[in-house]
Homo-oligomer: A and B are copies of this chain.
Amino acid sequence: MELQEAKDKFIHTWGTLATQWGINRTMSQIHALLLLSPQALNADQIMAELQISRGNVNMNLRDLMSWGLIFKQLLPGERKEYFVAEKDIWKVARQIAKERKRREIEPILGTMDDIKKELKGDTEEKKEVLRIIDEISHVTEFADSTMDSILKAEENWLLTNFLKLFKN
């Protein structure tokens, strides 16, 4: 397999997988393209490479920046804006986790709390609904904070080795 072929396969796969996670296909493909590109790319290059419109490229580049996954790079003597991706995959994972937390975990916990606060009562059924809502908050918080500490401690051999005790 030649380099270009491998890149294309990666970009294509990454786009397909993204849709399963509720992420826009084109956004993922642009991200993948930049991840694999040794140089920064401008909008025209991305348009040509992925065969998509200028508007589409522009919109998704800005989305990727808001996720903190790519950065603008101004090249000396160049009028156009260039973009580079964060290449450290651990940083990428940490950044995605952080954003998903802000955009998704917080709203879940917020709504559960709202309902919990407003739904007072001690009939059997109310208690049961409250129990489920409590458990969901609990599991969500656990998953969230655990992901935090793991991403934060990723290079920490103590945690890493300790976790191994619980594998399989």
Residues of A that sit less than 8 Å from B by CB: 1, 3, 6-7, 9-10, 13, 17, 19-23, 35-36, 38, 87, 89-90, 93, 103-104, 107-108, 111, 114-115, 118-119, 121, 123-126, 128-129, 132-133, 135-136, 138-139, 142-143, 145-146, 148-150, 152-154, 156, 159, 162-163, 166-168
> Quick check: A3 and B166 within 8 Å, CB to CB?
no
> Quick check: B167 and A115 within 8 Å, CB to CB?
no
Known: A17-B108, A115-B9. A149 touches B132 (CB 8 A): no
Please name the residue on chain B nearest to A149 by beta carbon. Answer: B166
Please name the residue on chain B nearest to A128 by beta carbon. Answer: B38
A–B complex contacts, Cβ < 8 Å, 29 sampled: A1-B119, A3-B125, A3-B126, A3-B129, A6-B115, A6-B118, A6-B119, A9-B111, A9-B114, A10-B111, A13-B108, A13-B111, A17-B104, A17-B108, A20-B22, A20-B104, A21-B22, A89-B135, A89-B136, A93-B139, A93-B143, A142-B154, A145-B167, A149-B163, A149-B166, A149-B167, A153-B166, A159-B162, A162-B162
